[in-house]
């Protein structure tokens, strides 16, 4: 399932996938796959992404519908 919240947060911040990847030290493909919901990142990577985008883990990764 697509992670639209991550994509929106990234675009709101003005980052391309490559920019975000460079900030965190991962590949662009990894960011793309996380946004597409095809890769489950580790908690460390989630925290790095959330910190870089000035969001909380809940903002980006918590799915209310699945609760």
Partner 1 sequence: MTYSGMKKKNNHGPFVMDERNKLIAYKIIAIMYFLTILAILGIILYRQFGLRQEISEFEDIAIVLTVNELFLISALLYFGVIPIQKIRIRNLLIIYAVIVVLGSLFTYYKYNIFESPGLSFDQLINKLLIIIVITGLIILFFVIFSILGKHRMEKELGEE
Q: Does 26 bind partner 1 (CB under 8 A)?
A: yes
SS3 content of the chain, % helix, strand, coil (to 5): 65, 0, 35
Q: Does 8 bind partner 1 (CB under 8 A)?
A: no
Stretch of 1-9, 11-19, 57-65 contacting partner 1, by CB under 8 A: 11-19
Burial label, 6 (beta-carbon count in 10 A; 0-12, 13-18, 19+): buried
Binding site for partner 1 (CB under 8 A): 13-16, 19, 21-23, 25-27, 29-30, 33, 39, 41-42, 44-45
């Amino acid at each position: 399932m697509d992670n639209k919240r991550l994509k929106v947060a990234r675009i709101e911040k003005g980052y391309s996938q490559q920019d975000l990847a460079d900030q965190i030290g991962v590949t662009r493909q990894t960011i793309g796959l996380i946004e597409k919901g095809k890769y489950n990142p580790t908690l460390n990577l989630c925290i790095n992404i959330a910190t870089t985008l000035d969001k909380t883990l809940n903002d980006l990764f918590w799915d209310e519908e699945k609760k």
